[in-house]
Amino acid sequence: MSGQNAMDKGCERLAQRLKFGDTYAENRVLCAPLAGYTDFAFRKLCYRFGAGLCFTEMVSAKGLLYNSEATRKLLYKAEGEEQTAAQLFGGDPSVMRSACESEYLAGYQTVDINMGCPVPKVFKNGEGSALLADMPRAEKIISACKASGKTITVKFRIGLDQNRVVAAEFAKMCEGAGADMITVHGRTRDRYYAGEPDYAAIASAKNAVGIPVIANGGIFSRADALKMLDETGADGVMVARAAMYDPHIFAEILGRPAAWDRRAAIEEQIADMLPFYGENYTVVQMRKMTAFYTRGMHGGARWREKLFACDKVSSLLSLVAEIFGDEESVSAENSAHTSD
């Protein structure tokens, strides 16, 4: 099979609907839960470019128990997000089940349990990737959440370090405890997001279970996604940091050409966020997102310096118009030179 035919076959496979538990993903290219990024306005953009399933930001089960306003806001879904899954983290099985059964998650069919977060604050509380070293408690958490009646997925890393890779064993435990799907991040906790993912470890998890397995880690292009499929045999892929820089990556991976009007996307995100979050939060969040979207642009460093000086939505919108007006001028100028 030629390289192009293999790529086409891979894209066809990724475009297929994926069933897990009592629900499904529209295709097999999923958007990862990203703390501080995957709010409803950003998810809307990812869905437009073809993401098969998106997840909320990481939500604290204890935060829901204590009726935290900030935590509840993380669970807001926009119209058309029926399939979006909530991601919970916590270390107490009873608290996790209570969160799943709470009114805050009433609109969510699928709950993803975070067992991979590497940050010290979460790890030291015995949550996130700390559960890789406490399989009996991890099993109780999954079983408790499954007893809520929700479709349960689990996202975890392959181990704490290279001497403690537990991908296959942990995957089997997840399936046995009732998980309907797992996502395996192919790096150990100590590596955070550095280096190439361990394809063999992800493949070992895939070969150990009968439920769908999603592969995560180091996917920044269609070629990365197809390599991940080929190397691991996974049922789909999950895109994380690459989506922050370019939500259009879902269209690229699926082989669905789609123009990305970055200015229009930024303006739409601001319009969606402003009534819900208010001016201060919207400005801070969209300065950050606009900085990602302008990476690699001509004069990007200069624009980012101006960007982080914006303290009002109006000034941010004016600068966005200036940035992308300037980009269009540069593109036109380059085209003129090319045609000479």
Distance CA 112, CA 99 (A): 12
Quick: pLDDT tens for 15-57. 999 999 999 999 999 999 999 999 999 999 999 999 999 999 9
- Predicted local confidence at residue 59, as pLDDT: 95
Distance CA 43, CA 48 (A): 9
Strand partners, 214: 183, 236
Quick: pLDDT tens for 97-124. 999 999 999 999 999 999 999 999 999 9
Token output for 222: 């269609």
Residue 31 known to be catalytic: no
Distance CA 143, CA 170 (A): 14
Distance CA 311, CA 283 (A): 7
> Considering 117, 145, 174, 310, which one is annotated as catalytic?
117
Averaged pLDDT for residues 251-271? 88
Distance CA 172, CA 120 (A): 26
The CATH architecture of the domain made up of 262-339 is: Orthogonal Bundle (1.10)
Token pair 């608290």 is found at 95
- Predicted local confidence at residue 44, as pLDDT: 95
pTM above 0.85, yes or no: yes
The fold of the 3-254 domain, in CATH, is TIM Barrel (3.20.20)
Residues in the chain: 340
Q: Is 86 left (phi over 0), alpha (psi -120 to 50) or beta?
A: beta
3-state helix, strand, coil in the chain (%, to 5): 50, 15, 35
- Predicted local confidence at residue 169, as pLDDT: 97
Which of 253, 260, 236 has its CA nearest to residue 19? Answer: 236
Amino acid sitting at position 245: Y
Domain ranges of the chain: 3-254, 262-339
Whether residue 177 is predicted with pLDDT greater than 80 in this model: the reply is: yes
Whether residue 330 is predicted with pLDDT greater than 70 in this model: the reply is: no
Using CA atoms, how far residue 73 sits from 28, 85, 110, in Å, is 27, 15, 18
Q: Three-state SS for 112?
A: strand
Token output for 156: 């975890």
Determine which helix (DSSP H) or strand (DSSP E) holds 62, and give its type and residue range.
helix 61-65
Q: Give the confidence band of 329 by pLDDT, cuts at 50, 70, 90.
A: very low
Quick: pLDDT tens for 271-328. 999 999 999 999 999 999 999 888 877 777 788 888 989 999 999 999 999 988 855 4
Arithmetic mean of pLDDT over the chain: 90
